[in-house]
Amino acid sequence: MPKNEKDLILKVTDLKMHFPIRKGLLAKTVGHVKAVDGVSFEIERGKTFGLVGESGCGKTTVGKCVLRIYNPTGGEIVYNGKDIANYSASEMSPIRRDIQMIFQDPYSSLDPRQSLKSILKEAIVCDMKPHGATEIEKRISELMISVGLDPIMMDRFPHELSGGQRQRLGIARALACNPDLIICDEPVSALDVSIQAQVINLLKNLQKQLGLSYLFIAHDLAVVRNIADNIAVMYLGHIVETMDSDEIYAHSIHPYTKALLSAVPITDYYEEQKRQRLPLEGEVPSPIHAPSGCPFHPRCPYATDKCKEKMPDLTERMPNHFVACHNV
């Protein structure tokens, strides 16, 4: 990880997001869902940090905490040297233009009653600065061209676009605010495989042109490996392993990471036949009643009594390769 804090655009330390469970007429708190429980990571300027894990592990909650859609229970979120974890809504207002989000579902993240022109105009003028009509239309055309959409389509509505075009519109909307950091919340999971590749290439090209930084959230290891510089693997609200993207296939260490990789299909038939599957037994535990010690120990084939009693620390096992496991 970078030693110079100036190289970091985002530093998250011990982030926690616990949702209260309320019951009864008086809405009494009877417990908490520990969606995120002590997550730490760093993002360098102009780089992509991939956050990977199965559904329900808390990766999307991390992104929403960074954007302060959720108010975190604890921890620090340092953006450009400022801890924004406890900022008020008014203090967050200018920062939200610098941190934008691309949502998972291009079908539900766009207002069906607004035209493309109206959607992009709304993002452009929300800085409350004076904008002329000609200037706005020129900016809309530039945004559409930058994401591969024809400006002639600006009077269309979202239902007249394909899934890939809608996601491109979502990317254009994020770019309209001239952000430094974009949180990509599974931006290609709802798209066809061929369209996924186009959108990933578009994001990579935009990063080179504009110097953007990405927090890329996904459950597909192959997709994340293709775009991320560093990857963190999450399980039940915790990061269990973090490494450079080139390391994940060659030198992954944690049993959960290995199990995820063994489930990724290989196109080479003979190589696929040689591979050893690492099936995981049981179901993912509930974050309401998380297991003691290591959260992965009920499904881990190598678990010991120590794993059941003590949470492993995320420690550096190789250069820039951190693992949370007692039995490495």
- Residue ranges of domains in the chain: 5-106+180-323
Single pTM value for the model: 0.91
Residues 6+ apart with CB under 8 A from 291: 285, 297, 298, 308
Name the fold adopted by 5-106+180-323.
Rossmann fold (3.40.50)
CB 48 within 8 A of CB 216: yes
**Whole-number Cα distances in Å, 153 to 24, 77, 134, 140:** 51, 39, 17, 11
Three-state SS at 241: strand
Specify the pLDDT at position 4. Answer: 63
Residues 6+ apart with CB under 8 A from 242: 41, 230, 231, 232, 233, 314, 321, 322
Q: What is the pLDDT along the chain (328 residues), one digit of tens a residue?
A: 455 666 899 999 999 999 999 888 888 888 889 999 999 999 999 999 999 988 889 999 999 999 999 999 999 999 999 999 999 988 998 898 899 999 988 788 899 999 999 999 999 988 767 788 899 999 999 999 999 999 999 999 999 999 899 999 999 999 999 999 999 999 988 788 888 899 999 999 999 999 999 999 998 888 898 899 999 999 999 999 999 998 888 888 999 998 888 877 777 667 666 777 777 777 788 888 888 899 999 888 888 899 999 999 999 988 889 999 998 7
Specify the pLDDT at position 269. Answer: 65
Specify the pLDDT at position 3. Answer: 54
